[in-house]
Each structure stands twice: as C-alpha cells, then as structure tokens.
C-alpha cells in the first residue's frame, strides 16, 4: 500500500509579513504539495512568495477569493 500524499492550499491576502513563516512551518512537516493563492495582494506578498521554494503560487490580479483561482 502506498503512503498517502497531502495537498495544502494556503490563501493569502496582504500577508507579506507572516506568510513566509507559515509556509516554512508547513514545508518542514514533510513531503507534500503546497499551493498558495495570492488573492490580489497589494503589499509585498508576491515578492516574499518568489523567495519560497517548494510551493506552487496562483495569483489573482485582484481580490476575488481562492475559488476563482486557476
């Protein structure tokens, strides 16, 4: 039987000051797929996310909710 994998979805909006800490804690927990939805942030969130390895980032140009993201 194979080991189950986990996918974690992290929505963020103007969390440039905290999102790196949250993502590093998630990534330290083991192998898993991490998807971050940058939902129209107007602060430095996009820049912070560019410096985090191991996450897939979806970006909405304006705040529309994570369900809108593709």
For the chain, where are the E strands, in sequence order? 7-12, 33-39, 56-60
With a cut of 80, say whether residue 41 has pLDDT above it: yes
pLDDT bucket at 28, cuts 50 / 70 / 90:
very high
Answer whether residue 40 shows pLDDT above 90: yes
Phi, psi of 9 (to 5 degrees): -105, 125
Query: Given this model, what pLDDT does residue 5 score?
Result: 74
């Amino acid at each position: 039987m194979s080991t189950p994998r986990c996918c974690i979805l992290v929505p963020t909006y103007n969390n440039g000051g905290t999102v790196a800490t949250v993502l590093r804690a998630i990534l330290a927990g083991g192998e898993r797929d991490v998807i971050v939805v940058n939902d129209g942030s107007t602060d430095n969130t996009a820049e912070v996310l560019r410096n985090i390895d191991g996450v897939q980032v979806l970006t909405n140009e304006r705040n529309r909710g994570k369900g809108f993201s593709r």
